[in-house]
């Protein structure tokens, strides 16, 4: 948070730290651990309450990355942030239990699993035993193929039913309901129309009673609407996050933490005074 700013307790910014060579917007920028740590500290200074650290791109068409390689990328960053006294919550963006386990031992306390505990049979038990927070995200198919003609009859109804079922699965596996965050997975097996309808009707997902995470940052549907390249989509990112806040989202996974944070602080203050 910037000096002099009014604290806005109602939302949390999740800054994206991609320790990957191939992420869609910042691939290769933070593959060096020192560069990733410095970037994460900048995001923390800009107001990120959570830092989401990932060693595997899940962009459309991406190939899976093995546990060993993910660990080589993310562990030095988590350890470095902890020893530097970073106060933000550390989140590990992985679907692999071995990676999550090592990240949790090194100081992460949130598991962001884009498969909602479906990819690795060990993941749910690990999250339950560690008492970590857990983000369950909707995805249709797998990153390699998910954008090949995704189809829904009622995208919001289907995403909601999926998240409800995954939450029930997580609770049955011993995960405390209060630790669960839910995410509609913008861009994960969705057309532009699907993404926009999910944003428009986000209140229906917020009605599930758990904090909704939203991840629109710099994504391709914003480029399709504005004609802007990936590094020039901050205005589109802000528009979608402000709308998502108004519809009940409370955790915002973004690259541009300072800009989105300012927009949300003003939105939250304005809504609070009505
Ligand atoms: N989006 C991406 C990755 N992880 N996790 C959640 N919970 N929600 C999201 O919307 C989400 C996510 C993709 O974005 P990014 O990390 O910027 O790119 P890449 O997957 O290419 O590394």
pLDDT, tens digit, 9 for 90 and up, residues 204-245 = 999 999 999 999 999 999 999 999 999 999 999 999 999 999
pLDDT at 61 over 50: yes
Q: What percent of the chain has pLDDT over 70?
A: 96
Q: Is 112:70 a contact under the CB 8 Å cutoff?
A: no
Q: Give the residue-averaged pLDDT of 10-26.
A: 94
Instruction: Count Cα neighbours of 89 within 13 Å in the Cβ-side half-sphere.
Output: 15
> Which DSSP helix (H) or strand (E) runs through 123?
helix 123-130
pLDDT at 106 over 90: yes
Quote the percentage of the chain above a pLDDT of 90: 87
Mutate to test the pocket of ligand 1, among 58, 133, 244 (most ligand atoms within 8 A of CB): 58
Distance 23 CA to ligand 1 centre (A): 9
Whole-number Å distance, alpha carbon 209 to ligand 1 midpoint, is: 23
Which atom of ligand 1 lies at the shortest distance from residue 135's CA?
Answer: 7
Question: What pLDDT is stored for residue 142 in this prediction?
Answer: 81
For residue 3, the model assigns a pLDDT of 58
Straight-line distance from the first to the last Cα atom of the chain, in angstroms, rounded to the nearest whole number: 24
pLDDT-derived band of residue 179, with 50, 70 and 90 as boundaries? Answer: very high
Please pick, among 12, 190, 219, 247, the residue that the annotation labels catalytic.
219
| Cα 129 to chain centroid, rounded | 22
For residue 215, how far is its CA from the centre of ligand 1 (angstroms)? Answer: 7
Residue 253 appears among annotated catalytic residues: yes
Ligand 1 pocket, residues with Cβ under 6 angstroms: 16, 18, 20, 23-25, 54, 57-59, 93, 112, 114, 135, 137, 183, 185-186, 213, 215, 253
Q: Tell me whether residue 219 is one of the annotated catalytic residues.
A: yes
- Give the model's pLDDT for residue 59: 87
Nearest to 58 by CA among 31, 25, 36, 30: 25
State pLDDT tens for residues 185-206.
Answer: 999 999 999 999 999 999 999 9
pLDDT at 146: 76
pLDDT at 144 (0 to 100) = 81
pTM (2 d.p.): 0.95
What is the atom index within ligand 1 of the atom nearest the CA of 22? 21
Whether 103 contacts 94, CB under 8 Å: yes
Q: Which of 4-13, 21-30, 58-67, 199-208 has the lowest mean pLDDT?
A: 4-13
Which residues are CB-contacts of 62 (< 8 A; sequence separation ≥ 6)?
Answer: 22, 56, 143, 144
Q: In this model, does residue 77 exceed pLDDT 90?
A: yes
pLDDT band at 9; cut points 50, 70, 90: very low
- 17 CA to middle of ligand 1, Å? 10
pLDDT for 4 beyond 80? no
Residues 127-170 have pLDDT tens digits of: 999 999 999 999 998 888 778 889 999 999 999 999 999 999 99
């Amino acid at each position: 948070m910037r000096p002099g700013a009014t604290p806005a307790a109602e939302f949390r910014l999740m800054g994206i730290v991609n320790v990957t060579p191939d992420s869609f917007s910042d691939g290769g920028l933070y593959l060096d651990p020192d560069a990733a740590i410095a970037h994460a500290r900048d995001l923390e200074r800009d107001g990120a309450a959570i830092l989401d650290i990932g060693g595997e791109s899940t962009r459309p068409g991406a190939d899976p990355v093995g546990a060993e390689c993910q660990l080589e990328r993310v562990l030095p960053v988590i350890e470095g942030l902890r020893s530097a006294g970073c106060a933000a919550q550390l989140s590990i963006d992985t679907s692999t239990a071995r990676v999550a386990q090592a990240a949790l031992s090194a100081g992460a306390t949130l598991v962001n699993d884009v498969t909602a505990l479906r990819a690795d049979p060990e993941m749910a038990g690990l999250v339950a035993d560690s008492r970590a927070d857990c983000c369950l995200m909707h995805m249709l198919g797998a990153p390699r193929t998910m954008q090949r003609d995704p189809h829904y009859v009622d995208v919001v109804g289907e995403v909601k039913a999926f998240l409800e079922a995954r939450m029930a699965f997580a609770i049955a596996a011993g995960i405390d309901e209060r630790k669960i965050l839910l995410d509609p997975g913008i861009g994960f097996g969705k057309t532009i129309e699907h993404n926009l309808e999910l944003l428009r009707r986000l209140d229906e997902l917020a009605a599930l009673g758990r904090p909704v995470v939203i991840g629109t940052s710099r994504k391709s549907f914003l480029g399709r609407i504005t004609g802007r390249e990936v590094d020039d989509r901050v205005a589109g990112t802000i528009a979608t996050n402000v709308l998502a806040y108004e519809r009940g989202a409370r955790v915002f996974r973004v690259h541009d933490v300072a800009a989105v944070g300012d927009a949300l602080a003003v939105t939250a203050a304005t809504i609070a005074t009505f």
